[in-house]
């Protein structure tokens, strides 16, 4: 056996130490980085000595050593230079006697790599190494933050764009899309401002870039995590959040239940002088939060969910998941809430489709006809004090026709939709009046 000796012009330990520092700085596993280095060196050797070359690479990260050995068979006449070397050439590099059939082992030193491989091949190796390290970094970032979905982070706004915010957290770029922001809050955003949000989703980038980490301040989970942070009883499991219904930036209803008879779930969440709930409200841009004690009894739960309105009676249909709620005349507007918000959130919180009926007769909130009427018309009717279907049917027709955009034909159609719900026929005098108005148009 013979081994070609070489003078080491490059300090191998310095190179390995540099890789060790890189592994530490980029949070890359040392063994994985060693494998990447070995794979890159293998690529360089094959480029230089052929794809069939027989070689061995030893990288010792602890000792700071790199060794590359090329093994070739000693032959009389070379047929495959990738795996063979002539006896005459091999004997030039060693004083030891060689015979045909021996294995000649040549050590490829780092100074030989830089001298004989050429700048292009070394540059290719550097690119390959950097690319693989970047891929490992991306995988590490994806894995780390995919395991942290549902966790609140505090980052720093570093770029404000039209449709989203770019947030930096531990030197990792994250994104807060417009639809995940609290409405009416963007005007408060400033560059370098700290911001609190929940990690909602982590997506792999199709273009090979960094993972797309999606943040949210508008989702129900963000509100739930804030409660866990601010209220120790929730974090410890003494109190549990059973359901959340939220319209971000405006109003939320949160149902809570205590597993300790000595602990009032609503009082514990509010805190002394409201200090606990106020910190959450401030974080949510003064979003109103209704705390409701959960009940396994649907009637009781729905009654509490409709607060501050007081209800007279509740009839439940479990098959259709519908609740017909009887309310007094003076409680209708409270039960409905601004733009139907109270009844809408109560329905979402309880899981029942709540139908409000005014005491003294069947009635339906106009919000139930939102698809047919549209938000703009419902708002105009509310401004006139008309909030229910019966009130719409009983309203002065001339007053209704003064509403911009409401034609006699449209009014007739809307009345027909409501009357169908009540299984009633249109009054002849109304038909005559509206038909005349349509003809005049």
Is the whole model's pTM more than 0.75, yes or no? Answer: no
Which of 334, 363, 392 terminates a domain? The answer is: 363
Q: Are residues 437 and 369 in the same domain?
A: yes
- 30-49 and 12-25 helices cross at what angle (nearest 10)? 130
Q: Are residues 18 and 128 in the same domain?
A: yes
Instruction: Name, in order, each residue with C-beta under 8 angstroms of 170's C-beta and a sequence gap of 6 or more.
Output: none
Torsion angle defined by CA atoms of residues 86, 89, 94 and 95, in that order, rounded to the nearest 10 degrees: 90
Q: What mean pLDDT is predicted for residues 422-438?
A: 83
- Model confidence over 352-389: pLDDT tens digits? 999 888 776 667 788 888 888 888 888 888 888 888 88
Residue among 363, 361, 372, 360 nearest 343 (CA) = 363
Q: Are residues 314 and 397 in the same domain?
A: no
pLDDT of residue 276: 92
Q: Are residues 6 and 137 in the same domain?
A: yes
Q: Are residues 302 and 289 in the same domain?
A: no
Whether 70 contacts 55, CB under 8 Å: yes
Residue-wise DSSP of 382-424 = HHTT--BHHHHHHS-HHHHHTSTT--HHHHHHHHHHHHHHHT-
Q: Whole domain around residue 393: which residue ranges? A: 364-441
Split into its structural domains, the chain has a count of 5
Q: Which of 124-138, 265-279, 339-353, 424-438 comes out lowest in average pLDDT? A: 124-138
Q: Are residues 407 and 353 in the same domain?
A: no
pLDDT band at 110 (very low <50, low <70, confident <90, very high): low
Q: Are residues 160 and 213 in the same domain?
A: yes
- Model confidence over 198-256: pLDDT tens digits? 999 999 876 667 889 999 999 999 999 999 999 999 999 999 999 999 999 999 999 99
DSSP 361: S
At residue 325, the 3 state secondary structure works out as strand
Q: Which of 113-127, 282-296, 302-316 comes out lowest in average pLDDT? A: 113-127
Distance CA 231, CA 419 (A): 50
> CATH number of the domain that 166 lies in?
2.40.50.140
Q: Are residues 245 and 288 in the same domain?
A: yes
Q: Are residues 233 and 252 in the same domain?
A: yes
Q: What mean pLDDT is predicted for residues 331-360?
A: 87
Which of 218, 241, 258 terminates a domain? The answer is: 218
Distance CA 97, CA 102 (A): 10
Q: Are residues 36 and 120 in the same domain?
A: yes
Q: Are residues 189 and 124 in the same domain?
A: no
> CATH number of the domain that 28 lies in?
3.30.1480
Whether 301 contacts 295, CB under 8 Å: yes
Q: Are residues 175 and 137 in the same domain?
A: no
- Model confidence over 59-83: pLDDT tens digits? 777 666 777 888 888 887 888 888 8
Which of 341, 363, 385 terminates a domain? The answer is: 363
């Amino acid at each position: 056996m013979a081994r070609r000796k070489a003078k080491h012009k490059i300090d191998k330990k310095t190179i390995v130490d540099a890789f060790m520092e890189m592994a530490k700085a980029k949070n890359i596993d040392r063994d994985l980085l060693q494998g990447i280095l070995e794979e890159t060196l293998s690529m360089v050797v094959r480029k230089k000595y052929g794809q069939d070359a027989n070689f061995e690479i030893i990288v010792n990260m602890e000792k700071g050593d790199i060794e590359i050995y090329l093994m070739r068979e000693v032959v009389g006449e070379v047929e495959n230079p990738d795996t063979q070397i002539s006896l005459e050439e091999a004997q030039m590099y060693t004083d030891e006697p060689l015979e045909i059939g021996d294995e000649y082992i040549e050590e490829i030193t780092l100074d030989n790599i830089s001298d004989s491989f050429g700048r292009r091949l070394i540059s290719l190796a550097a690119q390959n190494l950097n690319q693989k390290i970047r891929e490992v970094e991306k995988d590490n970032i994806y894995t780390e933050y995919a395991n942290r979905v549902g966790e609140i982070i505090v980052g720093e706004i570093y770029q404000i764009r039209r449709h989203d915010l770019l947030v930096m957290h531990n030197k990792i770029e994250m994104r807060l899309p417009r639809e995940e922001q609290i409405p009416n809050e963007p005007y408060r955003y400033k560059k370098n401002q700290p911001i609190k949000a929940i990690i909602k989703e982590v997506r792999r980038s199709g273009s090979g870039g960094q993972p797309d980490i999606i943040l949210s301040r508008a989702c129900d989970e963000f509100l739930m995590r804030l409660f866990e942070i601010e209220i120790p009883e929730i974090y410890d499991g003494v109190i549990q959040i059973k359901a959340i219904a939220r319209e971000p930036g405006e109003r939320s209803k949160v149902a809570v239940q205590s597993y300790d008879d000595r602990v009032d779930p609503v009082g514990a969440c509010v805190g002394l002088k409201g200090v606990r709930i106020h910190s959450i409200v401030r974080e949510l841009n003064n979003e109103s939060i209704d705390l409701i004690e959960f009940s396994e009894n649907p009637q009781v739960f729905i009654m509490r969910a409709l607060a501050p309105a007081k209800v007279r009676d509740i009839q439940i249909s479990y098959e259709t998941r519908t609740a017909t709620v009887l309310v007094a005349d003076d409680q209708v507007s409270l039960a409905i809430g601004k733009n139907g918000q109270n009844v809408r959130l109560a329905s979402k919180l309880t899981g029942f489709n709540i139908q409000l009926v005014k005491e003294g007769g069947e009635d339906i909130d106009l919000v139930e006809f939102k698809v047919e009427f549209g938000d703009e018309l419902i708002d105009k009717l509310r401004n006139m004090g008309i909030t229910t279907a019966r009130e719409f049917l009983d309203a002065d027709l001339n007053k209704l026709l003064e509403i911009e955009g409401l034609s006699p034909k449209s009014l007739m159609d809307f009345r027909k939709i409501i009357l169908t719900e009540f299984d009633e026929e249109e009054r002849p005098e109304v038909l005559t009046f509206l038909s005349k108005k349509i003809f005049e148009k």
